[in-house]
A and B are shown apart, each in its own frame.
Chain A
Amino acid sequence: MLTTPAMALRFEVLARHNRARASRLTLPHFEAQTPLFMPVGTQGTIKGLTNDQLEDLDCQIILGNTYHLALRPGADLLDSMGGLHKFMNWPRALLTDSGGFQMVSLLHLADITEEGVTFQSPVDGKPMLLTPEESIQIQNKIGADIIMALDDVVKTTTTGPRVEEAMHRTLRWIDRCIAAHSRPNEQNLFGIVQGGLDPRLRDICLKGLVARNLPGYAIGGLSGGEAKDAFWRVVAQCTAGLPEDKPRYVMGIGFPLDIVVCSALGADMYDCVYPTRTARFGSALVPEGVLKLKQAAMATDFRPLDSSCSCMVCKRYTRAYLHTLVTKEAMGSQLVSYHNVAYMMQLSRDLHNSILEGRFAEFVQSFLQKQFPEGDVPEWVCSAMEVAEIDISMCCAPQSRIAKMQV
């Protein structure tokens, strides 16, 4: 017997293009437009950018990492401060992850059992345990608009019975998460679809999560190491298997190309450290791909990062000047981060608006032509766009089309 759980969001699809959707996602703190990218503010801040700047850039939802926040400043402190929104004074929406992924990827000797994730405390080495209940309790204290279930996540390169074990455990844990969630009217618990690259396992997980009738769903386990051709197929399967009227969040995706493809396949939300992290290494996101500002050629290039970008950095600075700052001055990091976030938010707007205005196919074509001016669109993108029913033949050079035919 299913009870309809309380929801703290409203999701309205405003327009479609085949599988792609432009929607309005109304959360307790903010009314957002999807598809959208969520910058990651790991410890309650996005590297060097102020809240005013983030609002200027149109950021709608920001991610906070439960693992880091529970360590510092601590869940109870945040609770006593009225939650993370008040603590960092962010008026818009927040999303927290479960803490599980960081533990598995960051911690030495992390181990997963039926109870939860056991690990060594990074502070004093004591053995600790993060259970589904505990993860939800911490997230209840942090107070984000969207919280994530604790899932048993395995690397996509893992094979064998471990993958199936993790998928089934994820389903058992979702019930514990639901039971532990004390603020369903204020915070939306999203379930995460696992199952590795195995369509059979993914299908079981999809059905199991959909049956729980959650406010929203994430597609997990897809942000490291897997072949792109496998990646898009899992996304396509999951978006097809998830309900139409609920938001779909692909976790850990930040390359613009990946976001465009996933949006074409029917996903709505994305997060990744990539744009801000790559900024600190001197890489700027531009329509053609990535601009590596440290290269010697940049020293005499007096163009802005991106002539089509209207952000503060592109209006004021040249590649030549930014070249002198990146990796040497904190300001370099701040300015390129600012631009990269601007780029991602512009991409989000472009996706939403082009679907809304019935020109999504043209947008995708234009995007691909700028990224692949020689027409060398990767195979996996072509396959994905076929499934998405978007014609990108004009983006692919004749030679590559012929090469495909010959295979």
Chain B
Amino acid sequence: MEFAVRTWSAGARLGSLQLAAGLQVETPGLLLLTRKGLPAFIPPDLLQNLHPDARACQVTPLHFLESPNATTVAKAGGLHKLVSLTGFGMVAVARDSLMDESNGEGSSKMGASFETSSGRRVVGPAKYMEVVNAFKPDLWVSLPDEVPSWVAEKRNRLSVDRTLQWLDQCLSLQPAEYGNRCLGVVVGSTSLDERIRSAEQTATRNVAGFSLGGFGLGEDAAQRAVQMEAVLTKLPKEKVRHVSGIGLPEEILQAVGAGIDVFDSIYPFMLTKGGYAMTFPLNMENSQRSFDSEPTGEELARSGGDSAKINLRSVAYRLDNAPLVIGCKCYTCRKHTRAYINHLINTHEMLAQTLLEIHNTYHYLEFFKAIRHSIKLDKFHDFRNWFTSTRQKSGTPSPSKSRQ
């Protein structure tokens, strides 16, 4: 594993992450969400050609505690072989974004408590590393004791101590021949002192990079920005930074601006499950044109959508022969119409989810591409401002807007 920062723009970094031989991912980059190692609705033959940047996935060991389990993975020769994604980067992350967010309750010195599809489980470093080692992942995040933003000081301090202990234990359980693939988790919740302590201590360990934990657990955007900055100033700049639980486009932009490199986000999946297609504009040059031809904020609101997404369930799309996003080159937009997807959703057909997940993933990957492009041109700040302004603009109905 190799990581190098190539350039900066207002706090954001452009980098490249070499996950395996012949697998280079540009950062800021997005990891695809998986269930038991595969995307929820996109099988491998469709995944191959989804998007040039659809090359790395996040996988959680929590899906591999029962069926499948570590033995299954090991017998198959590793995760890549088990799920037939050799050639993809696989990053093991403890958090299961699709289940309940961890609230820290039920965790003990034995392990962290997680809600899984087979009930609540306590997972300690030994069990965790049994799965991680069976995976043979390209990168893995150490086991954290994550707590939400409202816990008491004492509990928070304990979570920092435990997370460090567990990091050390996980590192000791990693086979030597693996080389350095660990992302040490930094926790500390809303206490800046604890965040700094966690960061400084984690930075002393022999890790390949860092994962900022404890986000997406009840903190507000302002708090998060402050915490991230506190942490990132204490971490070596040349090592890669990952974060889980940061989903929305604005949250991604804030984190990129703070200096995060790798994300896994539940946003495309959540939209897919809700029957939404991502539609927010991706680049500054085209945005004016797209606003003239797209529906007004009021029209969107009436159909249950907004400036970021359209609600395919709505009767507004019954006869709409346009693709989800005009000009989008994803499989779904090249082959199908809003009307067809509206029909699929209303008849509860599985193909709706497959087509939406393809588009939503593609669109989000294009978003990341646009972010990287703006960093390359040293225009990240402008891009972020422009993006935020587009969201605010079409949120309000404007009856005076004439459409001749």
Contacts and interface: CB of A to CB of B under 8 A. Distances in A.
30 contacts: A43-B344, A44-B340, A45-B349, A48-B351, A52-B335, A77-B339, A80-B319, A81-B319, A81-B339, A87-B340, A89-B340, A299-B72, A312-B44, A318-B76, A320-B72, A321-B68, A321-B72, A321-B76, A324-B36, A324-B72, A328-B117, A329-B36, A329-B38, A330-B350, A331-B36, A331-B38, A331-B39, A334-B41, A334-B43, A334-B350
Contacts of B337: 87, 89
A331 B68 contact: no
Contacts of A330: 40-41, 350, 353
A318 B76 CA distance: 9
A8 interface: no
Contacts of A88: 340
Given A317-B84, A324-B68, A333-B350, A73 B318 contact: yes
Contacts of A312: 43-45
A21 to B, nearest CB: 34
Interface in A49-84: 49-53, 56, 68, 72-73, 77, 80-81
A50 B76 CA distance: 28
A48 B340 contact: no
B404 interface: no
B82 A72 contact: no
B72 A44 contact: no
B322 interface: no
Interface in A119-170: none
Interface string B62-82: 000001100010011000001
Contact of A50 (B39, B68, B339, B354): B354
Nearest to A72: B347
A6 B92 CA distance: 63
A90 to B, nearest CB: 10
A50 B351 contact: yes
B344 to A, nearest CB: 6
B339 A87 contact: yes
A209 interface: no
B206 interface: no
A316 interface: yes
Interface in B33-53: 35-36, 38-41, 43-46
A45 B341 CA distance: 11
Interface in B298-341: 318-319, 321, 331, 335-337, 339-340
Interface of B: 35-36, 38-41, 43-46, 67-68, 72, 75-76, 82-84, 117, 318-319, 321, 331, 335-337, 339-340, 342-344, 346-347, 349-351, 353-355
A325 interface: yes
Given A73-B339, A80-B319, A312-B44, A321 B83 contact: yes
B72 A51 contact: no
B360 to A, nearest CB: 15
Nearest to B342: A73
Contacts of A321: 68, 72, 76, 82-83
Nearest to B42: A331
B343 A299 contact: no
Nearest to B49: A52
B36 A302 contact: no
| Best-surrounded residue of B84, B318, B335, B350 (most CB of chain A within 10 A) | B350
Given A45-B351, A302-B76, A329 B35 contact: yes
A37 interface: no
B43 A338 contact: yes
A299 B67 contact: yes
What are the 6 A-B residue pairs with the smallest beta carbon separation, nearest first? A316-B84, A48-B350, A45-B351, A324-B68, A324-B67, A73-B343
Contacts of B353: 330
Given A73-B346, A299-B67, A331-B43, 13 more contacts: A45-B350, A47-B351, A48-B351, A73-B342, A77-B319, A81-B339, A87-B337, A299-B72, A302-B75, A318-B76, A320-B75, A321-B82, A330-B40
Nearest to A44: B343
Given A45-B351, A50-B354, A89 B336 contact: yes
A323 interface: yes
A88 B339 CA distance: 9
Contacts of A324: 36, 67-68, 72
Contacts of A46: 351
A319 to B, nearest CB: 11
A344 interface: no
Interface in A276-328: 299-300, 302, 312, 316-318, 320-321, 323-325, 328
Nearest to A332: B36
A214 to B, nearest CB: 31
Given A87-B339, A320-B72, A324-B72, A52 B331 contact: yes
A53 B47 CA distance: 12
Nearest to A321: B82
Contacts of A318: 76, 82
Nearest to A87: B340
A388 interface: no
Interface string A362-398: 0000000000000000000000000000000000000
Given A302-B75, A328-B117, A43 B349 contact: yes
B76 A320 contact: yes
Contacts of A81: 319, 321, 339
A335 interface: yes
Given A50-B351, A72-B346, A323 B67 contact: yes
A45 B68 CA distance: 30
Contacts of A89: 335-337, 340
A406 to B, nearest CB: 49
Contacts of B347: 43, 68, 72
A405 B39 CA distance: 57
A56 B45 contact: yes
Contacts of B82: 318, 321
